[in-house]
Amino acid sequence: MHKDIATPIRTRTILEKHGFSFKKSLGQNFLIDTNILRRIVDHAELTENSAAIEIGPGIGALTEQLARRSKKVVAFEIDQRLLPILAETLAPYPNTKVIHEDVLKANVKEVIENDLSDIEDVMVVANLPYYVTTPIIMKLLEEKLAIRGIVCMLQKEVADRIAAKPGTKDYGSLSIAIQYYTEAETVMIVPKTVFVPQPNVDSAVIRLTKRKEPAVLVKDEAFFFQLIKISFAQRRKTLLNNLTNGLPEGKKRKEEILSALEQTEIDPGRRGETLSMEEFARLSDHLYTSFS
């Protein structure tokens, strides 16, 4: 068994040896607590027949834990300066592959088809850079990849929004967008003290388990998401107010909007945050015919 990367001393030694300095622009915070890394991997429920896709492996602390518990790990790393470090720290793990690419520009589907074609169970497991968390998760879900789900660490307040239920202050268009594709749950809270450098906020780990079918079936997905954005445009305003301001020619067509709300049995005086996904789906299907 090789010495863990994620200890304060080993991390410092590796960084000093390679003269590595953190880039704020890349949101680099490295975990220095092996127990937390192991627990993150536990939540991914990997077997020796699973593969893991990692985003932003850093110096390989999580990669190493994933490599010990799965058949293969493919990691996307944007920072060229980390490649020689990873080549060294991951040398004991021939089942790992590092791809030097920005995951937001990468063809992840192709990577799964080429590198993981022999593996049926694929999970994304990552400590995501905070500044691009949402675009990365949305890309992975919208591209309908052959993955079982995503276990990732992110800013606690973003995790709260992702897993939020209707009627709470955190519930919004992000909650619905992600829960449309997955079942979302926060599985652990991670204090800022276990990172170098320490971030300003606490983190959380969320598990997103992909649904076989979206949570609701709608006539038009793009219109459904557009309607949700409009409904949350100004949180303090009523649904009717946001819809008349946000839908094309909404002010002129207020009667049509009122009639749609009436027929779907949704009170126009409610706020967007009180509507369940099912209610949004009903309303979206109703308005789609006249507003698309």
In degrees rounded to 5, what are phi and psi of residue 276? -80, 170
The pair of structure tokens assigned to 183 is 């079942």
Q: Quick one: how far is CA 54 from the chain centroid?
A: 12
Contact 52, 79 (CB under 8 A): no
Among 82, 110, 96, which Cα is nearest to 18's? 82
Radius of gyration, CA atoms only, the chain: 22
| 289 SS3 class | helix
Query: What's the Cα-to-Cα distance from 283 to each of 83, 169, 217, 235, rounded to whole Å?
Result: 50, 22, 12, 18
For residue 194, what is the DSSP state? G
Contact 231, 279 (CB under 8 A): no
Is 102 labeled as ligand-binding?
Answer: yes
Is 77 labeled as ligand-binding?
Answer: yes
Strand partners, 75: 54, 98
Is 31 labeled as ligand-binding?
Answer: yes
Is 127 labeled as ligand-binding?
Answer: yes
**Secondary-structure percent of the chain, ordered helix, strand, coil, rounded to 5:** 45, 15, 40
**What one-letter code names the amino acid at 179?**
Q
Question: Using CA atoms, how far apart are residues 287 and 283, in angstroms rounded to an integer?
Answer: 6
Question: Using CA atoms, how far apart are residues 193 and 8, in angstroms rounded to an integer?
Answer: 11
Dihedral sign of CA atoms 209, 213, 218, 222 in order: positive
Residues tagged in the binding site annotation for S-adenosyl-L-methionine: 29, 31, 56, 77, 102, 127
Residues tagged in the binding site annotation: 29, 31, 56, 77, 102, 127
